[in-house]
Amino acid sequence: MSKNVDTIPVEVLILTVDHDIKGTVHVSKYTNTNRELTDLLNDKGRRFLAVTDAEIVDKRGGPPRKYNFLEVHMDYILMVHPSAQVLFRETTRSQEDITRFRELRAKLNQTRPR
């Protein structure tokens, strides 16, 4: 699959009534940085949002499903949020990451000259 040189990938979390979808959408690199997703979602000619490397989680439970490519109908999208700004639920894994980060930060603080 060839990459479009006029787009940039943005990792997103897409919320629908029944599913949470993590994946990548490709936005125009010629759009104002703060409006990339907004412009994509407000395009009246677009009926579907293309998502690559998608992982769908059913809100009622069950294992996540993964797809290389997925189209999500715009009418079913409640919200799209860049993953870099998403606050995920705390899990055991995230707690372990936080603990490791705090330990590393403490070590770095000890090695700084005073």
Q: 40-57: per-residue pLDDT in tens?
A: 788 888 899 999 999 999
Q: What percent of the chain has pLDDT above 90?
A: 37
Place of tokens 């995920």: 88
Rounded CA-CA distance 83/10 in Å is 8
For residues 6 and 3, which has the higher predicted lDDT (pLDDT)? Answer: 6
> Does the pLDDT of residue 81 top 50, yes or no?
yes
* 1 pLDDT tier (thresholds 50, 70, 90): very low
Rounded CA-CA distance 60/17 in Å is 10
**Class assignment of domain 7-86?**
mainly beta
Q: What is the pTM of this model?
A: 0.66
